[in-house]
Amino acid sequence: MADILHHNSLRWRLFKFFTSQHEYNAGKLSVNHQRMLGFYMSVLPNRRRIVSSRHLAEGEGWETSEFEYGLIIAYNAFSRWVQRCMAAAGMPELSALEILVLHNTNHRNREKRLTDISFLLNMEDSHTINYALRKLLKLELLTSEKRGKEVFYHTSSSGQKLCERYRKVREQCLIEGIPGTGITGEEFRNIATSLRSMSGHYDQASRAASSL
């Protein structure tokens, strides 16, 4: 491990050295510097692969395993966060899914059907969403109205107030610290676009696997 840290540190020092030369030369990196940088960066070992399943990180496309590990820890961290945030807002008994269903129902102050919520959250198992809706109704955070065969859900006054308290806790505990991450708003939008694109690719792969 010490050798890896040493090599990675050396790669970084080399990169900083040559880029500082680049700045010194008024924006033009000399051909010799380009060759030297390419040589030293190529002979030093690359960083280790950060994955949770090493057997899935072999051969071409191993970077996907690193991406998937990032998804796993990000999803679990996000689920933990929304529950802690909602607990601070005054409703600790809600699960992560129930919180997402509440926020989605409150989205744009429009009534929604179960199928609408399932579609927007990209969830195939509607039974879990139906259970969440029943619990939110029991807590009087939602209201419902049946029209023909369809049931439409809307956030109640107490549900809207809870969402507002959640928003204030979120701004204080999460949003205010975002500048410290060094990630800009535009970069967040680009990451979101990439995640939506990858979700479509995983959906297509799921359909392909189902046909095997």
Residue 98 tokens, joined: 């129930």
CB 95 within 8 A of CB 132: yes
Name the 3-class secondary structure at 142: strand
CB 18 within 8 A of CB 29: yes
Amino acid letter at 78?
A: F
Selection from 176, 169, 166, 172 nearest residue 94 by Cα: 166
User: Tens-of-pLDDT digits for all 212 residues of the chain?
Assistant: 444 444 455 555 555 554 554 444 445 555 555 565 565 455 445 667 888 888 888 888 889 999 999 999 999 999 999 999 999 999 999 999 999 999 999 999 999 999 999 999 999 999 999 999 999 999 999 999 999 999 999 999 999 999 999 999 999 999 999 999 999 999 999 999 999 999 999 999 999 999 99
The pair phi, psi for residue 154, each rounded to 5°, is: -145, 145
Distance CA 70, CA 212 (A): 28
